Amino acid sequence: MDRWKGRVALVTGASVGIGAAIVKSLVQHGMKVVGCARNLEQIQNLAAECVRSGFSGTLFPYKCDLSVEDEVLSMFSWIKVQHQGIDVCINNAGLALPEPLLSGKTSGWRTMMDVNVIALSVCTQEAHHSMKERYIDDGHIININGMCGHRVLHNADVHFYTATKYAALTEGLRQELREAKTHIRATSISPGLVETELTYRLFSQNPEKAAATYKSIKCLQADDIANAVVYVLSAPPHVQIGDIQMRPVEQLT
């Protein structure tokens, strides 16, 4: 990770869970990290925690609603003014709503598409533009996907969410980057069941169901995914890690 010290990373969905764990890990390794989310206070608390821990990097909190394209574009403009641009983009933000294909609300479908697909693609495009205009040829774009992007669970509540994770964005990006003759890399990290707030939000009307899900097996922890991000970034520049699939040992599917 030495070559990333002092360089700039953007982490979306940085206030809690996997995003917060990734932020802390990158700051600990000496990076300047712009962490964005709708809840600014939580990221500010995370920044203070990084300072108290004596980490060599710095966390810069930024409030952004990724479902609003103008806010995303304003964020990248701010990053350009404050930090010249970004070298690493980690598209972590995502949400799951219990909206089945046969009975779900179109408003919920659109919300998931806006965040999980459209916002990710806008951030990817802006990140590539930032790297290209500064002649950064060793940048990295990492999408935090999920095992839902590789198989369909027998659970109607997550079928549309699964569709947003099935979008073949990372491999498509990798191909476009190769055609552009750049050495910027693209990686997807697909965890299985991780003990975060996502399931509690998915089953907000039935918190007991969410709690039971996490008690059923020994789940992955947010730090496990953060460690995978560090592994990917630590790979030599000539190594392209396309997709990491990781799940709890006890998880069946």
pLDDT in tens, 155-190: 999 999 999 988 779 999 999 999 999 999 999 999
DSSP β-bridge partners for residue 194:
220
Query: The whole model's pTM is what?
Result: 0.95
Tell me the average pLDDT of the chain.
94
Catalytic residue among 62, 161, 214, 231: 161
Asked if the model's pLDDT at residue 205 lies above 80, the reply is no
Longest pairwise C-alpha distance within the chain: 51
In angstroms, the CA 8 to CA 75 distance is 14
In angstroms, the CA 61 to CA 78 distance is 12
Report the range of poorest mean pLDDT among 209-213, 233-237, 243-247: 209-213
pLDDT value of residue 203: 73
In angstroms, the CA 68 to CA 236 distance is 36
φ and ψ of 33, to 5 deg: -120, 125
Q: Which residues contact 46 (CB under 8 A, 6 or more apart)?
A: 14, 15, 20, 23, 24, 35, 59, 61
In angstroms, the CA 10 to CA 75 distance is 10
pLDDT value of residue 232: 98
Written as one letter, the residue type at 45 is N
Over residues 91-136, the pLDDT tens digits come to 999 999 999 999 999 999 999 999 999 999 999 999 999 999 999 9
Residue among 171, 143, 140 nearest 233 (CA): 140
Alpha carbons within 13 A on the beta-carbon side of 89:
27
Over residues 241-250, the pLDDT tens digits come to 999 999 999 9
Over residues 22-44, the pLDDT tens digits come to 999 999 999 999 999 999 999 99
Q: Which residue has the tokens 């097996």?
A: 217
State both tokens at 69: 């394209």
Q: Is 200 a catalytic residue?
A: no
In angstroms, the CA 247 to CA 239 distance is 23
